[in-house]
Amino acid sequence: MTAFRQYFEDHPEIFAALVAAIAVLGGLLGSVIGAKIQADGGRDQAAAAREAAQIAAEAQRVAALWSVRQLQVAEFIRSARAMMAVCNGIYRSDDDAESRRARVDAASREMALREAEIRLIAPAKVAHAATEVAKATQKAYLGAMRWGPLAGGRVALKRLCNSEDEAVRREARAAMRVLDDEGSSWSVRRQALSTVDGLSGEHIRRLSEPPTKPMQRIVEGMHAHQREVDSKMGKLLEAARVMLRSDDDVLPVVPTPEQRRRWWRAA
């Protein structure tokens, strides 16, 4: 070691050159290590940026889907209730057949459209529940179209029974007594109804038909259809609340980049 030191003392120019070479090599090594660290950091930053962009896009997609599902379920429920309001109104209305069918057809088309939209964007359980509601309203629709006009004719006749015109009131009450007589024939019923000023031809035709079902059972059938729709609607609401995470009171979320990295480290 002493000889080595003595050599450099005797040859200072070689020592200086060696020190310079070591300094250059050290600088080069430092540059290489620094560049590698910087490159690794850049790759990590780029990967984190890509991941953050993917998570943000996923969060936007989930939030948008949540909003669409919430809107479509709400619109379907509204259309189903509107459909039932139209069907139930037939039992209490004395509108003509054309006007009545136009209202029902419009409500039915809208509900069918809303159901199709739910089947496209909602989970299977919600779509199935919506279909069950649609089936129940369809049964209510068929019942209303079959028995509603008869009940509506009774409504019209009862209204005429309270007419301010004494002659109309007398004829309407006489016709009502004939209808309440279950043994009255078609011809007798039609003759009595034809004398009432204010009844449409459809009212007279429907009220003249043999009473195949008592009015009380017709009204009970209307209420039964409403109960069935309400029951199916309750199941739809329950499934929709689960889908929309209503009890959590928050929008669906996706993990943040930091949460995902912690999960990867744990794995």
> Per this entry, what is the length of the chain?
267
Confidence of residue 264 (pLDDT cuts 50, 70, 90): very low
**DSSP string covering 19-44:** HHHHHHHHHHHHHHHHHHHHHHHHHH
CB 229 within 8 A of CB 76: no
* pLDDT tens-place string over residues 176-213: 998 888 778 888 889 988 898 888 888 888 888 876 67
Q: What is the pLDDT of residue 262?
A: 44
DSSP 194-221: HTSTT--HHHHHHHHS--SS-HHHHHHH
List the one residue out of 200, 202, 197, 177 whose CA is nearest residue 189: 177
User: pLDDT tens-digit profile of 1-12?
Assistant: 555 555 545 555
**Quick one: pLDDT at residue 101?**
80
DSSP 94: -
**The pLDDT value given to residue 81:** 93
| For the chain, percent of residues with pLDDT exceeding 70 | 66
Q: Is the pLDDT of residue 250 over 60?
A: no
- Our measurement of the distance from residue 260's CA atom to the centroid of its chain's CA atoms, rounded to an integer in Å, reads 32
Q: Mean per-residue pLDDT for 51-78?
A: 72
pLDDT value, residue 10 = 57
pTM over 0.85: no
Give the residue with greater pLDDT, 46 vs 245.
Answer: 245
* Average pLDDT taken over every residue of the chain: 77
**CA–CA dist 35, 58 (Å, integer):** 34
